[in-house]
Structure 1
Amino acid sequence: MAHSSLARVAGRTTPEAPIDLVQLATNTLGNRDLEVQVLHLFKSQSAGTLERLARESDATVRRDLVHTLKGSARAIGAEKVALVCETLEGEMQTDADAPTDGLASVVNEVNAYIRDLLDS
């Protein structure tokens, strides 16, 4: 089991990075294998969540999906995704069909970053 954190990858932690790799390392106790697993899980879960949001009509289910994604985003250090989820949750209180385009955009950005990070 490797204990070399992804946060130690040179040049990867910048203010513009969509994932706070230091937060990720903290949450996984610096276990690189666990970091990789969690990142793969987020990528898969977030893509599935966006698909479900696009076809789901039940307001409660939609809010629950966004809330769950918010927690997952915070767990990997994707704070921008978490903040968009938080805003969207509020909007969904008054508009069950609140658009999710902004959420899809930030999730896609994070997932592209994950792909780049894991392929390096």
Structure 2
Amino acid sequence: MGQAVLNAEHPVFSSPAGESQLEARSRPVDLVHLARQTGGNRGLEEEVLQIFLKQAHKLAREMEQGCDCDARKLAAHNLKGAARAVGAFNVANCAGDLEDHPSEAAYVSSLVAEVNITCDYISSLLR
């Protein structure tokens, strides 16, 4: 019998959804995490992602429009929680940074860019 060769690009074990852990980390939404959160219910996954899309766009617009620091901090906190729930960990991290530095425009820009990337990805999943 030949010996199996372990390769980071083709791991022996993949996630229940059929994607490798390497692929899951490179995506804007961790689909394995989302499946765990929804008990694997695809209809619920779609519903949760649609709600997240609306909320993320709304909160990103609010933060871009120059709301005061307290409002921006609260919006970032809310977005961080929603992003973690669906597995959008890059958005959650950017929102956490903005929550810690609500007066810094660079953090707003980074968060809005990450929200756009993630929302584009989610939209492609829902087509």
Q: TM-score, normalization: structure 2?
A: 0.78
2:90 is matched with 80
Q: Percent identity, aligned pairs only?
A: 36
Task: Determine if the alignment matches structure 1 residue 67 to structure 2 residue 77.
Answer: yes
Q: Does residue 18 of structure 1 match 2:31?
A: no
Aligned Cα RMSD in Å? 1.8
- 2:98 paired with 1:91: no
- The answer to whether 1:109 aligns with 2:122 is no
**Greater Cα shift, 10-19 or 79-88:** 10-19
Count of residues in Structure 1 that have an aligned counterpart in Structure 2: 109
Structure 2 residue ranges without an equivalent (≥5)? 1-15
* Cα distance in 2 between the residues matched to 1:43 and 1:69: 11
Gaps of 5+ in 1: 1-6
Paired amino acid for 1:66:
A
Bigger radius of gyration: 2
Q: TM-score, normalised by structure 1?
A: 0.82
Distance in 1 separating the partners of 2:110 and 2:55: 17
CA contact (8 A) 2:73 2:100 kept: no
Q: CA shift at 1:97, angstroms?
A: 4.8
